[in-house]
Structure 1
Amino acid sequence: MKPLWFIFLFLQVFVNLEFSWSQAVNTCEIGVVLHPHLYIAGIPLNGEAITAGHKLHFVCRADHELDGATQIECLKTGQWSAPFPTCSAIGCTVPQIEHGSVPTGPREYKENEVLNFSCDATYKRADDRPPRCTIFAGKADWNPTPACRQITCELILPPPTGTTYDPPNKNVFLPGEMLRVLCGEKHWILDAQTRESNVTCNYNGVWNARTECQEVKCPAYIEEDNLYYRVNAWGRNKLGDRVTYDCSWGYQTATADKTATCTREGWTPKPLCRAKQCQRPEIVNSRITVNDKRKYGNGEQLTYECLEGNPNSVTITCERGAWEGIRPCPAPIVCSAPPPLEE
């Protein structure tokens, strides 16, 4: 039987060994080379030992993303619960674009770099803005998203006032397809006299002509020779509107009520002011046979006959400063020089 002092000494040695083993196992070490852009929270100060249950937290620089666990814990075995994470630069990869392709170039793009891509025939970019590698909330993506869409011409339905489409309920047209535009009573397409037209969708996705009818309007100000003053027709210049006017001295209004009317041909009548007298007309290859003088009053007539061709006389009338009924005379017959005589 062993003496008591021997048993006590054995137990003391065992306890010391157990404590030493426990101390060695219950601590963890950072035995790896940390990534340069990795930040760690939770490392003890003053070189204190990292014991079991202690946790470390990880985060990367703003332009990098974390590859691995955001948190690890020191286990009783002296091991970490997971490997130390690393950081990788945030960037965009070359996307797969339906009906489009990316030319040969880099496969990884950094922040703010632009992606160059093209679309297949009959397709175009869905957004005209260049796709840029953008970092948001720690993730990188293309903005706007690179995409291609089929080339089409589009309409806004329902059509604007005064405009009708044929076909009526279709708003997307492929290149080469045609649309008929019909305008209302007071609207126009192409020009003020045209109320309907066919337009075609071009292969660039643009209509070859205007697709909306415009309201007929005359100039807001009437500035015509021989007016007494410039007429302000602002707000009263739509089709059928009427405004009053007056003429300078020596001229008279073309209408008895001194009003001009807005029509598809503009302000009418034309001209608005007419001379009260007519000058002696200059009609080529003719001579006046009745009432030949320098000036003629409104309603006066004269008669002339042509020097060549038709021998019948022509009578014309002075109407508000202009001659009415003039018929031109044929030019005189002129013979070329005779050929030289043979000797």
Structure 2
Amino acid sequence: MTSEINHRTCRAQGWDNTVPVCEAVKCPAIRTNAFVTASGNTEEGSYGDVIHFECVSADKKIDGSSDINCTETGEWSDSVPTCKEITCTAPVISNGFVVEPEEEYQRDAILKYRCSPGFKAREGIPRCAKFGWTLNPECDEVTCELKSIRFGVQKINPEGKTIFRAGESVEITCAERYWIFRTKETIRSFTCEENGEWDHEPICEEIRCEVPRDQHVYSPHYYFRGDMTLGATKTYHCISGYEQKAAVATCTRDGWTPKPLCAGIK
């Protein structure tokens, strides 16, 4: 209110005084030094106006508030900031620690840190930049995920658990026509290692027989192709000097039978 009197009284001749006048609250002009630039209505800010500050040099950063606003009292919400050298401080890392911490890190300095056992550092290298560390240095808990929990699986112990911490184990029992990936085992325990990987792939795969390359079979890649799962049969022939031990070869858990498929002629 710009008028001195903020009230009027009803008299015999009508209202006394004049109609009061209201105008927007103004804030004083903004003055910066040669190292700081200000954008906005710096000469006569009105209530609600915002002034944004930046450093002239890209090698420096704002020391204070980068944005201030004109308040209802006619004062700016904060003082005009200055510029200072870009520096960073060592952060507090949950489940980890900074290696050889420094009191202050200069621009582009690298932060070295390690994580406690059972935790791993996030990918990337934190560097000191204008707005702090380019990457938030954090330690995530090491876990392994059990993905193939249905295909060819008969039983899992513990049941229903799919996320395991480092050092924890799970036992998998494969279904009747399956065995553990790249083994001939039907039951096995798997342990989650410190790097977040399983010590062996926890997958049950369908039992298959391989091409009998070294059993004196004639053209094994031709006769042994297509379905070679458990119970499959294949007709075959032996190379010269060897005779068949059966009319067909049958795929079993122990490979092709009979054993051997071809025996030397005596």
Which letter maps to 1:229?
Answer: S
The structure 1 residue matched to 2:91, chosen from 49, 71, 95, is 95
Higher relative contact order (CA 8 A, sep 6+): 2
* Aligned-partner SS, 1:235: coil
- After superposition, give the CA deviation of every residue in 1:113-139 in whole Å (9 maximum; x if it has no partner): 32111233x332242x2441365xx63
Cα pair 1:92 1:109 within 8 Å, conserved: yes
The answer to whether 1:265 aligns with 2:254 is yes
Question: Which structure would you say has the larger Rg?
Answer: 1
Cα pair 1:236 1:243 within 8 Å, conserved: no
The 3 A distance-change label for structure 1 pair 241 and 95 is same
Report the TM-score, using the length of structure 1 for normalisation.
0.52
User: What is the Cα deviation at residue 202 of structure 1?
Assistant: 4.9
Cα pair 1:119 1:148 within 8 Å, conserved: yes
For residues 239 and 112 of structure 1, what CA distance do their matches in structure 2 show? 61
Cα pair 1:114 1:132 within 8 Å, conserved: yes
Which letter maps to 2:97?
Answer: S
Report the TM-score, using the length of structure 2 for normalisation.
0.64
* Aligned-partner SS, 2:127: strand
The structure 1 residue matched to 2:176, chosen from 172, 185, 191, is 185
Partner of 2:4: none
Partner of 1:118: 114
For residues 66 and 190 of structure 2, what CA distance do their matches in structure 1 show? 62
- After superposition, where does 1:249-260 map in structure 2 within 5 Å? 249-256=240-247, 259-260=248-249
For residues 159 and 193 of structure 1, what CA distance do their matches in structure 2 show? 19
For residues 260 and 191 of structure 1, what CA distance do their matches in structure 2 show? 22
For residues 204 and 33 of structure 2, what CA distance do their matches in structure 1 show? 73
Q: Which runs of 5+ in 2 are unaligned?
A: 1-28, 46-50, 71-75
Which letter maps to 1:123?
Answer: G
The answer to whether 1:236 aligns with 2:227 is yes
* Aligned-partner SS, 1:274: strand
Partner of 2:127: 133
User: What is the Cα deviation at residue 104 of structure 1?
Assistant: 3.4
For residues 77 and 221 of structure 2, what CA distance do their matches in structure 1 show? 92
| Larger mean Cα displacement after TM superposition, 184-193 or 97-106 | 184-193
Partner of 2:22: none
Cα pair 1:199 1:211 within 8 Å, conserved: yes
Cα pair 1:166 1:180 within 8 Å, conserved: yes
For residues 82 and 191 of structure 1, what CA distance do their matches in structure 2 show? 68
Partner of 1:217: 208
Cα pair 2:171 2:189 within 8 Å, conserved: yes
Cα pair 2:95 2:119 within 8 Å, conserved: no
The 3 A distance-change label for structure 1 pair 242 and 108 is farther
The answer to whether 1:196 aligns with 2:196 is no
User: What is the Cα deviation at residue 196 of structure 1?
Assistant: 0.8
- After superposition, where does 1:47-126 map in structure 2 within 5 Å? 53=44, 58-60=53-55, 61-66=57-62, 67-68=64-65, 85-120=81-116, 122-126=117-121
The 3 A distance-change label for structure 1 pair 180 and 82 is closer
User: What is the Cα deviation at residue 107 of structure 1?
Assistant: 3.5
Cα pair 1:192 1:264 within 8 Å, conserved: no
The 3 A distance-change label for structure 1 pair 53 and 224 is closer
* Aligned-partner SS, 1:132: coil
User: What is the Cα deviation at residue 147 of structure 1?
Assistant: 2.0
- Over the matched positions of the two proteins, sequence identity in percent amounts to 30
For residues 103 and 226 of structure 1, what CA distance do their matches in structure 2 show? 62
User: What is the Cα deviation at residue 173 of structure 1?
Assistant: 3.6
Q: Which runs of 5+ in 1 are unaligned?
A: 1-27, 43-51, 74-79, 279-343
The answer to whether 1:168 aligns with 2:123 is no
User: What is the Cα deviation at residue 185 of structure 1?
Assistant: 1.6
For residues 260 and 144 of structure 2, what CA distance do their matches in structure 1 show? 43
Cα pair 2:230 2:251 within 8 Å, conserved: yes
Alpha-carbon RMSD across the aligned residues, in angstroms, is 3.9
Partner of 1:34: 34
User: What is the Cα deviation at residue 111 of structure 1?
Assistant: 4.8
* Aligned-partner SS, 1:231: helix
User: What is the Cα deviation at residue 59 of structure 1?
Assistant: 2.7
For residues 170 and 270 of structure 1, what CA distance do their matches in structure 2 show? 42
User: What is the Cα deviation at residue 63 of structure 1?
Assistant: 4.7
